[in-house]
């Protein structure tokens, strides 16, 4: 993707797109890893019969931040036309992934039993799965 | 209904009032319902927008199931008063839907033209659509109001204190 092209004005843009393109899959990998880590943390709380704590919500916020970066990178790539992807599917999955944790976190935090930790765990695993699907959709293009 | 089941009621629950279906285990139930509602809505929106004419029956069925999941999620999250009745209806429709569509899709794979959320008993969604309505029915039973005197419905139930 980084092969130099003769079109003088476009070179900088192409190189930038190439770098961004190389970032998408590692970002998704990071996303899935963070989600699995958050789910494991929540599982520890389930086993110890504890409710979700604020620090775990910060963890969820980090996942959200990665998703936002992912969205921006993908938007740049798709707008500049460097990468063709099933846009409806991709944005549908990304929008869903962005919504899951904030809603689930609010829902979990209102419950002060171990079930709140179960909710956070399920939500994290869901986002991990959505990240995996995003990866498939992106790679299929 | 055995004494063991009655004794397993969480101590926080008031014995005579129905508990909200959104508390405790209900938190998880509503979460999974919500995720499935999202999945079904997304799938159905995509199908309706891009390829409805290819298999109108299957895609209408998917849209219908999506609406039922949304209603069930909201009703179980509210969990009190009239919402309980709504939850009973929505969860029952799901149970019937997943069993009927699941059985039909196995008996003749082409009956709906395309697969739906309920095809193969929810196979495409890890059989969660099959488990969920029965978990919902069980939870609605578990959290229902219990009168002070044994009712006709459960004559043999032991009454501690």
Q: Is the pLDDT of residue B9 over 80?
A: no
* Count of A-B CB contacts under 8 Å: 47
Q: How far apart are CA A133 and CA B96, in angstroms?
A: 30
Q: Do B42 and A116 touch (CB under 8 A)?
A: no
Q: What is the pTM of this model?
A: 0.84
Nearest CA in chain B to A130: B39
The answer to whether A108 faces chain B, any CB pair under 8 Å, is: yes
B26 to chain A, closest Cα gap in Å: 8
Nearest to A92 among B26, B27, B42 (CB): B42
pLDDT at A80: 84
Average pLDDT, stretch A9-24? 69
| Residues A26-72 pLDDT 10s | 999 999 999 999 999 999 999 999 999 999 999 999 999 999 999 99
The number of angstroms, rounded, from the C-alpha of B32 to the middle of its chain's C-alpha atoms is 10
Does residue A7 sit in helix, strand or coil?
Answer: coil
B92 to chain A, closest Cα gap in Å: 24
Q: Do A96 and B42 touch (CB under 8 A)?
A: yes
The answer to whether A122 faces chain B, any CB pair under 8 Å, is: yes
Q: Is the pLDDT of residue B155 over 50?
A: no
Q: Which helix (H) or strand (E) holds A45?
A: helix A8-47
Tally: H helices and E strands in chain B: 5, 0
Question: What are the CA-CA distances from residue A57 to residues A37, A45, A61 (Å)?
Answer: 13, 13, 6
| Residues A95-124 pLDDT 10s | 999 999 999 999 999 999 999 999 999 999
List the domain boundaries for chain B.
21-142
Structure token digits, residue B89: 């209806």
List the domain boundaries for chain A.
24-140
Give the number of other CB atoms < 10 A from CB of residue A61. 12
Nearest to A115 among B25, B39, B77 (CB): B25
Q: Do B28 and A103 touch (CB under 8 A)?
A: no
Structure token digits, residue B125: 């969604």
């Amino acid at each position: 993707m980084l092969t130099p092209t003769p079109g003088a004005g476009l070179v900088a843009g192409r190189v930038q797109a190439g770098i961004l393109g190389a970032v998408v899959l590692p970002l998704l990998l990071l996303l899935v890893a963070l989600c699995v880590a958050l789910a494991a943390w929540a599982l520890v709380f389930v086993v110890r019969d504890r409710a979700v704590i604020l620090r775990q919500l910060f963890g969820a916020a980090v996942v959200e931040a990665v998703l936002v970066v992912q969205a921006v990178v993908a938007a740049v790539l798709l707008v500049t036309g460097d990468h063709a992807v099933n846009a409806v599917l991709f944005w549908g999955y990304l929008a869903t992934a962005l919504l899951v944790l904030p809603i689930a976190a609010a829902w979990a935090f209102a419950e002060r039993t171990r079930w709140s930790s179960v909710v956070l765990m399920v939500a994290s695993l869901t986002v991990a799965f959505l990240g995996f699907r995003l990866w498939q959709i992106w790679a299929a293009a | 209904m055995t004494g063991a089941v009655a004794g397993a009621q969480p101590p926080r629950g008031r014995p005579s009032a129905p508990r909200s279906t959104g508390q405790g285990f209900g938190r998880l139930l509503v979460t999974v319902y919500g995720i499935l509602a999202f999945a079904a809505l997304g799938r159905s929106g995509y199908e309706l927008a891009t390829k409805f004419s290819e298999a109108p029956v299957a895609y209408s069925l998917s849209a219908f199931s999506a609406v039922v999941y949304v209603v069930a999620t909201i009703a179980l999250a509210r969990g009190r008063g009239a919402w309980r009745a709504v939850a009973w209806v929505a969860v029952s429709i799901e149970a019937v839907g997943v069993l009927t569509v699941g059985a039909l899709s196995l008996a003749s794979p082409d009956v709906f033209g395309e697969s739906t959320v309920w095809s193969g008993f929810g196979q495409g969604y890890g059989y969660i659509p099959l488990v969920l309505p029965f978990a919902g029915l069980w939870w609605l039973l578990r959290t229902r109001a219990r009168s002070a005197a044994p009712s006709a419905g459960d004559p043999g139930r032991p009454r501690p204190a």
